[in-house]
Structure 1
């Protein structure tokens, strides 16, 4: 299964790999104490082995940083069942919350993009949880700055239901046309987890709570600047029919569905990357 492109509506690799292995077996590497943060895990501060921290947002206060993020508005490209409004993206109680509920006779959701901060290669981590819902889906991804799709790196997508898995999708183009590769990992995403992606020349690694759970390698891996997108969409039941999986209902669709994000942390490679 894969969601087609969701556009924003407005508007030394070897050395690094060795350094990353030093942290590969350590869950929540360089994290705060269990008592910290809304989610029980504090936003990371400082560099990691092989990575230089370039951005962190723990969503304190009640305003989204407009210099770093943009709210979504309108219909996603390639997904006519969905509709975004800026009012469905809220910063409150130390969290960024993307809300799905019916408005104007349809299910409306929220999303944000970090298009002011594109980069080529890096590491992104997002601490989140999601209310179960059949109709409201969530998608965490890297989107190309030039808006030419593919490529796309989806590092945590859930297409509705009990929130007991996320998919990772890598989209690319070769001589045979547009292609995608899918992987999946199971966990309870109705509870707090840290999802992430590490993107290097010729390698993409999906992470969950500090552990690598999936890897893609080779020419399919992009090398163009990309930015982080955090988005919810509607139409999970319609997508189930399209993908040929068990139809709804699964867990039902509540009147209000929230995807809560405690913090986001972004890193650049600590070593120069060939072709960057």
Structure 2
């Protein structure tokens, strides 16, 4: 690991970040110019913010919003794609587009136990691919010992690693959440993580800021963990993925955690709900407003190799 701590190094990197993202974005849409949305109906759209907090239009002068989706329609739309097949490295359950729906102003990633096993939902925001930026998601998760959820940035070129997981949980009561970073070093796949507590069966805003040599994990607008390393932090274009997976009990055993118990919540169906998603890239004058990024955030967990 090569820590990126000196202020002059990050300042120099920020000079290039705007140029990097300006050409990295593909077919982005905004809330004002997204084509082809169906007219709202009472069965698909809930008035106001479902979660009590509306989608932001700004994250301050350091950021320029490139995409926002409040799911005020009846269909998923062209900015998203659904997952299918078995999750890599996880043979328990399958993804299927039937488990993804947009109703009552929310994106719903469902999960259902069937006679042949679990079927779950996942989506990619592949059209909004960029190098560096800020992603925020307003979400909540039903309690379940069998299911995990994962909100992450995935490389456009499909060459893994890297991967940035900014909200991940196998907690049956949704009282814990993890952040991970995956990278390759000296020919080996590496990972590091941090954990935080909360009541994630209720609505929260989770997010991540990604810059050269820096990842900052966000919870309700505050930085709770960060990575400062030119080795661990990726520099390849990435897109947002959000998914529910079966096999949380098996993962807990693999990780040396306590096995699933009979008194834990084991519903036959559950879901992760998304009220809105907002994406930003560094603004043209990002460097002029980036003083807070130069030093470690007070109170935040410093994730290292």
Q: TM-score, normalised by structure 1?
A: 0.84
Aligned to 2:11: 14
CA deviation map 1:57-90 (0-9, x unaligned): 0001110112x11011111121111310101001
CA contact 2:62–2:286 (8 Å) conserved in 1: no
Aligned to 1:61: 73
CA contact 1:132–1:251 (8 Å) conserved in 2: no
Cα distance in 1 between the residues matched to 2:169 and 2:116: 24
Q: Which runs of 5+ in 1 are unaligned?
A: 1-11, 18-34
- From 256, 259, 266, give the equivalent of 1:253: 266
Work out whether 1:128 is the aligned partner of 2:139.
yes
Deviation at 1:226, TM superposition (A): 0.3
Deviation at 1:106, TM superposition (A): 0.6
Work out whether 1:106 is the aligned partner of 2:103.
no
Structure 2 counterpart SS, 1:14: helix
- From 253, 258, 262, give the equivalent of 2:275: 262
Where in structure 2 are the equivalents of 1:74-223 lying within 5 Å?
A: 74-175=85-186, 177-219=188-230, 220-223=232-235
Structure 2 counterpart SS, 1:267: strand
Deviation at 1:258, TM superposition (A): 1.1
Counterparts in 2 of 1:209 and 1:104: CA distance versus 1, 3 Å: same
Structure 2 counterpart SS, 1:224: coil
Deviation at 1:256, TM superposition (A): 1.4
Cα distance in 2 between the residues matched to 1:117 and 1:158: 25
Structure 1 counterpart SS, 2:218: strand
CA deviation map 1:95-142 (0-9, x unaligned): 000111123521111000011221000000000000100001100000
CA contact 2:173–2:265 (8 Å) conserved in 1: no
Count of residues in correspondence between the two structures: 245
Aligned to 1:29: none
Counterparts in 2 of 1:73 and 1:203: CA distance versus 1, 3 Å: same
Cα distance in 2 between the residues matched to 1:257 and 1:16: 43
Following TM superposition, where does structure 1 have runs of at least 4 consecutive aligned residues deviating by more than 6 angstroms? none
CA contact 1:13–1:273 (8 Å) conserved in 2: no
Deviation at 1:176, TM superposition (A): 5.8
Q: CA RMSD in A?
A: 2.1
Q: Which runs of 5+ in 2 are unaligned?
A: 1-8, 15-46, 288-305
